[in-house]
Chain A
């Protein structure tokens, strides 16, 4: 079951937390048009699962380098779409994996998963996906 469809009991995401930077999204809409922005958002929605899987796989294999690549990639995409919390958390995860602190990274994986889920929801809501 794709991650985005899981029903989760969110522990780390607060109701008043700003997940999405509307200015970043407006900028994207302005430059590429709403239809293309939706295409980009859809690509992110599809791709986020794959990136999360790669992070999990890297953790299982103890491959810090691959974990760092996936976190880096997640951070870039999230930044483009104005997903500020996700970009910040991915950056932190990338930093931990580059420092080979995979055990500590394990402890925030649930937070990362929740942030992805909440960010995707926010994105879907914005674009009515």
Chain B
């Protein structure tokens, strides 16, 4: 599966580099990418373009950032002087000589920033082309735990307890510095000692409760409550009135410590899920696709899988004088706040297509891009969008805004249909490309949201899921579209154990 998330073409200048970097960062922030990987991607991009400006005398550069078969792919082209950053095997002792010979292009750094890098010089077009690839990281990051305690021994023990656990522990020895950290990083659970010099745990909790982003994050105290000390009982009484999730008694054994974190996290997850499901079920139901099995000469069959969390997948049909148009959107939202904006965007799409205006798919996608770029209510949501217009004799037009490439299926192959286009809302007045293809009787088009191939936890299992589903799509080409869909989705359910990690929408279209 391939999705182009950003594609830019600019004059080679530092001002443009800065703007491109901002656009790339905005895209990276919408994806499940760790901070470290995000920085590496940004650094690789900046290094290459800086090189092309400073050392290559390039006039222009082009860049694209894509998701392709469980890898992030960054491609940069420039029309500067040719160079080859990967022709030499680096020897540590020769690095500095090599760097000097290559005019300080930071090539060693570039090689270190990614899993794979390839370079070629296009003699015909006179273009440098460098391609970086990074493997997609495990989908679920380890739950982040913050422990605040002034006692180095407690911090040391907790670190040892967490070493082979599923949690990533960060320790701070002062409440004040913990508060500073909470402004910069997101934690899934906070644990604090009560008795600490300067700011104590109770005060820390009082402040954390006022932080909007931490209002629902579980908070535990880790404290040496002493029955011999009368003041301790008072502290405990004060603590339990601070909406905490529990008190771990010191000295905590490893199971005490880890089980308390586990229990608290699963309880918080359950409550959040129950709360959001209530909202979701009431609203998301109204957005579930409702497509006919036949649109003019086209046979349509679709299936969905919903996680009941996050944003949602939408399929909308617009019948007009120009013919029938089908739109797919994957609206992304990961917290309760973003959910509101996701629903606002869903309402906007419904409204936009519900009017009498007879717009082409290109006009619709451009309009969504402009609204996502400029309207405060809509630019809070990230979405991918795909527009298809269905015509006679298997003719089909397509506009893609950051959505996974549709697959063209035939007996002999399954191929992605690439249409250049970026995520809506990143670049003002972006001109989306429209592609026209023609489907023969023995061909089929599969359009889908990214959850189809990404509903597995590891890179390897996602690759396996993609490979098996593509195989099923090909094996079922001779079957009616509804039967093919049922077989493909049964395979999906078996591989994912009936538990999709992301919302899924798959539509099979036969001419």
Stretch at the interface among A3-11, A66-74, A114-122: A66-74
In whole Å, how far is A123's beta carbon from the nearest beta carbon of chain B? 12
* Cβ-defined contact, B224 with A75, below 8 A: yes
* Cβ-defined contact, B251 with A76, below 8 A: yes
Q: How far is the CA of A44 from the CA of B251 in the complex (A)?
A: 14
* Cβ-defined contact, A39 with B156, below 8 A: yes
Q: How far is the CA of A1 from the CA of B421 in the complex (A)?
A: 71
In chain A, positions 24-44 with a C-beta closer than 8 Å to chain B are: 27-28, 31-32, 36, 39-40, 43-44
In whole Å, how far is B284's beta carbon from the nearest beta carbon of chain A? 44
Q: How far is the CA of A40 from the CA of B252 in the complex (A)?
A: 14
Q: How far is the CA of A98 from the CA of B235 in the complex (A)?
A: 13
Q: Mark B89-103, 1 if CB is under 8 A from A, else 0.
A: 000000000000000
Contacting residue for A47 out of B153, B195, B250, CB 8 A = B153
In whole Å, how far is B198's beta carbon from the nearest beta carbon of chain A? 10
In whole Å, how far is B191's beta carbon from the nearest beta carbon of chain A? 14
In whole Å, how far is B337's beta carbon from the nearest beta carbon of chain A? 39
In chain B, positions 147-173 with a C-beta closer than 8 Å to chain A are: 150-154, 156-157, 160-161, 163
Answer yes or no: A94 CB below 8 A from chain B CBs.
Answer: yes
In whole Å, how far is A53's beta carbon from the nearest beta carbon of chain B? 14
What residue of chain A has the Cβ atom nearest to residue B196's Cβ?
Answer: A69
Contacts A75-B226, A76-B251 given; does A43 touch B196 at CB 8 Å: no
What residue of chain B has the Cβ atom nearest to residue A54's Cβ?
Answer: B197
Q: Taking chain B's interface residues, is the majority helix, strand, or loop, or is none over half, making it mixed?
A: loop
Q: How far is the CA of A94 from the CA of B151 in the complex (A)?
A: 15
Contacting residue for B229 out of A36, A43, A69, A95, CB 8 A = A95
What residue of chain A has the Cβ atom nearest to residue B226's Cβ?
Answer: A91
* Cβ-defined contact, B157 with A40, below 8 A: yes
Tally of B interface residues using CB under 8 Å: 23
Answer yes or no: B253 CB below 8 A from chain A CBs.
Answer: yes
Answer yes or no: B141 CB below 8 A from chain A CBs.
Answer: no
Contacts of A94 in B (CB 8 A): 226, 229
Q: How far is the CA of A79 from the CA of B156 in the complex (A)?
A: 15
Answer yes or no: A105 CB below 8 A from chain B CBs.
Answer: no
In whole Å, how far is A80's beta carbon from the nearest beta carbon of chain B? 3
Contacts of A98 in B (CB 8 A): 229, 231
Contacts A79-B250, A80-B251 given; does A72 touch B231 at CB 8 Å: no
In chain B, positions 256-285 with a C-beta closer than 8 Å to chain A are: none
Q: How far is the CA of A77 from the CA of B251 in the complex (A)?
A: 7
* Cβ-defined contact, A40 with B251, below 8 A: no
Q: Mark A83-94, 1 if CB is under 8 A from B, else 0.
A: 000000001101
What residue of chain B has the Cβ atom nearest to residue A48's Cβ?
Answer: B153
Contacts of A65 in B (CB 8 A): 197
Contacting residue for A80 out of B157, B229, B231, CB 8 A = B157
* Cβ-defined contact, B195 with A80, below 8 A: no
Contacts of A75 in B (CB 8 A): 224, 226
Answer yes or no: B255 CB below 8 A from chain A CBs.
Answer: yes
Answer yes or no: B228 CB below 8 A from chain A CBs.
Answer: yes
Contacts A94-B226, A95-B229 given; does A43 touch B152 at CB 8 Å: yes
Q: How far is the CA of A80 from the CA of B161 in the complex (A)?
A: 13
Answer yes or no: B254 CB below 8 A from chain A CBs.
Answer: yes
Contacts of A40 in B (CB 8 A): 153, 156-157, 160
* Cβ-defined contact, B224 with A79, below 8 A: yes
Contacts of A69 in B (CB 8 A): 150, 195-197
* Cβ-defined contact, B250 with A80, below 8 A: yes
In chain B, positions 202-228 with a C-beta closer than 8 Å to chain A are: 224, 226, 228
- Can you name 5 extra interface pairs (CB under 8 A) apart from A28-B253, A47-B152, A72-B224? A31-B254, A31-B255, A69-B196, A76-B153, A91-B226
What 5 A-B pairs have minimum CB-CB distances, sorted nearest first?
A80-B251, A31-B254, A77-B153, A76-B224, A79-B251
Give 6 pairs: A residue, B residue, CB < 8 Å, sorted on A.
A28-B253, A32-B254, A47-B152, A73-B150, A73-B153, A76-B154
